[in-house]
Structure 1
Amino acid sequence: MHWDDLRVFLAVARHESLSGAGRVLKLDPATVGRRMQRLEEALGTTLFVKSPQGYALTVDGQRLLARAEEAEQAVIGAADELADKAGRLGGQVRIGAPDGCANYLLPQICARIGAENPDLDIQIVALPRVFNLSKREADMAIAVSPPSSGRLTVQKITDYQLHLAAHRAYLRRNPPIRSRADLKGHRIVGYIPDMIFDRELDYLDEIGAERVHLASNSVPVQLAAIREGAGLGIVHDFALPFAPRVVRVLPEEIALTRSFYLVRHADDRRVERLNRFAAALLEALPAEVARLQDMTKA
């Protein structure tokens, strides 16, 4: 049995389809299918049950999955040891994050980490949803709620603040806002209610709003709408420096605090490359949040 066959097997097991595995491996789905058929013939057993819903592991497939993941960790560990001996952090790290964090925090943080480690390739996946680390969608993820299930390790990174905000032009052309009661009748920018993927992002009750007049599942799209004067919305304080004429509204009355958590697969604690990247992230992200939030107070 070759490692390359196990690599293909892992991709099919994690993505539960030939097409999903093919996208990750950059192989034609038919080629992936032939590789799995060849592996099953070599082992003399059936590894997957095929159905219209996808590829599900058999009992023997589950057994092989555990061994294949051990082999994967061994290969990754060996590569990391060689890179470490050369005095550099190399290879690839993929980090998933909510799109607010991915747009306004991770680019500058990862740019600095990358500059210090020229052999390291960093991939930032910005998606407004929860990442599935068991399917290896990312090596690690930043979340706004700590997961309660799965073989995961979770570390709190930092708290961050959010406030109601609007563009100065919107505030000039609309009735003044001196209290929560004055918010009635103002237009609200926020999340599409049925696409909120984490309860920590449901801000409507906290600002007393009953309706979202302009909605998006994307934080940058919401901020862009607020910047264009579309209405009031909850904005991360660390994003305000990227929208200079957007200002906080009722900051003493409406102030929210949320947290970022670093989530990793439990098996990856032996991967030195990921440990070192995580350590750099845990140091840099709180500092960057603090720096940007301080700019809004100036």
Structure 2
Amino acid sequence: MDWDDLRIFLAVARAESLSRAGKSLRIDPATVGRRIARLETTLSARLFTKTPQGYALTEHGHRLMDPARAAETAFATAQDSLHAGTEGLTGQIRIGAPDGSANYLLPQVLTQISAENPGLEIQLVALPRVFNLSKREADMAIAVSRPETGRLTVQKLSDYQLHLAASRSYLAQNPPITCRDDLKAHRIIGYIPDMIFDKELDYLGEFGTTAPEISSNSVSVQTQLMRAGAGVGMVHDFVLPFAPELVRVLPETVALTRSFWLVRHADDAQIERLNRFAALLTQGLRRELQRLEALSLTAA
């Protein structure tokens, strides 16, 4: 059996589409289809069935997944060993992250990692949702809560702090806020309620304020709305150095602590290249988070 055929099989199984699989592999969908047909002929078994939703694994296809994943891990480990003597990391690594960390923490961290490893290609996917590592949407992901299911390895990166904030101009033009009840007289900015992808992001519900009058699924957009004077909302402390217009509101009364987690597929535990990258990412993120939160205190 050809490893390249198994690689294509895994891509289709994860993408559930010939075109999406082809895009990830950088080959045309027709070639993907021919290679899958060749593999099915070799195995004398149907691996996929076409449904309105895409390509679904058959029973034979499900049976092939574990051996194919094992072959993928073995191939990656073999590649890893060939580069074990090189000083820097090489190849491509994709990391998924929610847009708060992706916009305000990771650019500085990844810039340094890239500068120290010129042969490394880093892809940062910034989306406000949970990443599916089983489908190889990323090599690793930053999450805002600890996953409880799946074949994953999970490492706590760091706690981080959030406070209510608003722009100085907004506070100057609106009634004073001296207690939580005063918030009822103010426009609230937050997440679109039905697009909160993780319970840890339900900030406003935690301290009983009203539903947001202006909302977005993006941390960055919420921050920009506050900077424009649209209202009061929750802000990560590490964002405040990038938004000098904002000041904390009720800092002694309303404060939240959340955590970032680094999530990886369990099959990747033996891949030294990913282990080294994860260590650099962890050290860099903790250092940058500490630096920015310290700056936020001096600016407050």
TM-score (ref. length: structure 1): 0.97
Task: Supply the distance in 1 between the matched residues of 2:129 and 2:249 (Cα, whole angstroms).
Answer: 28
Check whether the contact 2:188–2:210 (CA below 8 A) recurs between aligned residues.
no
Amino acid corresponding to residue 190 of structure 1 in structure 2? G
Q: Give the distance between the partners of 1:114 and 1:239, measured in 2 at CA.
A: 23
Give the Cα–Cα distance (whole angstroms) in 2 for the partners of residues 56 and 195 of structure 1: 27
- Once residues 205 and 34 of structure 1 are traced to their aligned partners in structure 2, the CA distance between those partners, rounded to angstroms, is 52
> How far off is 1:66 after superposition?
1.5
Task: Please list every run of 5 or more consecutive structure 1 residues that lacks an aligned counterpart in the other structure.
Answer: none
Q: Which residue does the alignment assign to 1:281?
A: 281
Deviates more, 1:24-33 or 1:66-75: 24-33
Aligned positions, number? 298
Counterparts in 2 of 1:98-177, with a 5 A limit? 98-177=98-177
The answer to whether residue 262 in structure 2 is matched with residue 269 in structure 1 is no
Q: Is the aligned partner of 1:38 residue 2:38?
A: yes
Once the two structures are superposed, residues 20-70 of structure 1 have per-residue CA deviations (whole angstroms, 9 ceiling, x without a partner) of: 212212333233222211211122111112221222222321222222212
Q: Please give the secondary structure, in 2, of the residue aligned with 1:162.
A: strand
Contact 2:152 2:265 in 1 (8 A): yes
Q: Does 1:297 align with 2:260?
A: no
Instruction: State the shift of 1:250 in Å.
Output: 0.5
After alignment, is 22-31 or 138-147 more displaced?
A: 22-31
Per the alignment, residue 203 of structure 1 pairs with: 203
User: Partner of 2:185: helix, strand, or coil?
Assistant: coil
Rounded Cα–Cα distance in structure 2 between residues aligned with 1:24 and 1:294: 40
Residue by residue, what CA displacement relative to the aligned partner does 1:172-218 show, whole Å, maximum 9, x if unpaired? Answer: 11111111121111001110000000000001223432121111000
Instruction: Look up the match of 1:9.
Output: 9
Letter in 2 for 1:229: G
Letter in 2 for 1:56: A
Distance 1:206 1:267 in 2: 37
SS at match of 2:189: strand
The answer as to 2:249 corresponding to 1:249 is yes
Tell me if the contact between 2:184 and 2:210 (Cα under 8 Å) persists in the aligned partners.
no
Moved over 3 A (4+): none
Identity, % of aligned positions: 65
What does 1:181-196 correspond to in 2, within 5 Å?
A: 181-196=181-196
Distance of 1:160 and 1:111 partners within structure 2: 21
Q: Secondary structure at the residue paired with 2:149?
A: coil
Provide the C-alpha distance between the structure 1 equivalents of 2:290 and 2:113, rounded to a whole number of angstroms: 18
- State how far apart, in whole Å, the 1-side matches of 2:225 and 2:288 are: 25
Given that residues 156 and 259 in structure 1 are in contact (C-alpha distance below 8 angstroms), is that contact kept between their aligned partners in structure 2? yes
Q: CA deviation at 1:79?
A: 1.7
- Kept after mapping to 1: 8 A contact 2:114/2:122: yes
Question: Is residue 237 of structure 2 the alignment partner of residue 240 of structure 1?
Answer: no
Which residue identity lines up with residue 201 of structure 1 in the other structure? L
State the distance in 2 between where 1:73 and 1:156 align. Answer: 24
Q: Is the 8 A contact 1:80 1:90 kept in 2?
A: no
Offset, 1:97? 0.8
CA distance in 2, matches of 1:239, 1:33: 46
Q: Structure 1 residue 53 and structure 2 residue 53: aligned?
A: yes
Partners of 1:209 and 1:172 lie apart in 2 by: 21
Q: Is the 8 A contact 2:175 2:185 kept in 1?
A: no
